Amino acid sequence: MYIAKLHPFAFKIGPIGVHWYGIFMVLAILGGSYYLIERGKQLGEDPDYLSNVTLWTVLWGVIGARLVFVLANEPQWIWTDPVQILRIWDGGLAYDGAVGLGVFALWYQLRKKPLVFNYLVDWTVPGIGLGIFMVRIGNIFNHEVLGRMTELGFGRWPEQLWGSFIGVFLILRYFWLERYRTPPPGYQFWSAMFYYAILRGFIGETTRDNPLYLIHYINPYWGIGFTTLMQLFTPPILIFTGLMMRRTWRKSATRLIPPGKTVVSMSSEASGQK
């Protein structure tokens, strides 16, 4: 989507402009952090400790998002304009880097509490979905993350709206599983990453106006292209997240049960059927 009338700035305070992108990103971080901390209290952890863990997770997530974006899209900034690397409010964050470094930071802080980590990493999913949704709306205001032009009568693919839909899908799927299923801790997160990779890699990236690698195919009529960098990484991501989903089921026999949840392990179900 490209709407020329939309302005990147929500307002200005003297020479300082406040971007819509930055506002949406902060709101998503606050919303996701609040949910994570509130759910984390069910584990009996100290709220101050949870707040500290969340703060460092978010901080390293933002660093990872910016680092991966720069390395994948603007590596010349490192030696030509290093200050630009810090201007995250102008846009340019890579979801993959945010999740990768953010989850690593969460694991490192909870490495001695693996069960707590598995529950908390699941509870990051609503915040991740909210972040995808709101940041893609911010991309519309920044006139970035554009879809390819087509000859189908509507011009350019509304890539940002598709990205926002993926965020909404992750949130709805998460709460549906919470209400109607009893997945083992860790499954929510890894399955969300699995489906995100499918939706973005095989659909979103196909219509997104990104540089192509290895296979340089573009269909101008449909406005699709292969293969982007994300598409190249999609198969190994699917393999890894799929294996982690399977691993969470196999290790779900003994686990911490939060208040208000009734969890039946896979081994108990199996023995009950005999």
What type of residue sits at position 96?
Answer: D
pLDDT at 273: 41
pLDDT at 116: 92
The CA-atom distances, in angstroms, between 42 and each of 25, 37, 259 are 27, 9, 6
The CA-atom distances, in angstroms, between 65 and each of 68, 93, 147, 256, 270 are 6, 5, 21, 31, 42
Please write the tens of the pLDDT for every residue from 179-227.
998 899 999 999 999 999 999 999 999 999 988 989 999 999 999 999 9
- pLDDT-derived band at 136 (thresholds 50, 70, 90) equals very high
**Residue ranges of domains in the chain:** 17-253
Q: Which residues of 197-232 are buried (b: 16+ CB within 10 A; e: fewer)?
A: bbbbbeebbbbbbbeeeeeeeeeeeebbbbbbbbbb
C-beta of residue 141 within 8 angstroms of C-beta of residue 134: no
pLDDT at 157: 94
- Residue ranges for the binding site? 136
pLDDT at 196: 96
Tokens standing for residue 221 = 């009529």
Q: Average of pLDDT values for 13-37?
A: 90
Average of per-residue pLDDT values in the chain: 87
pTM of the model: 0.86
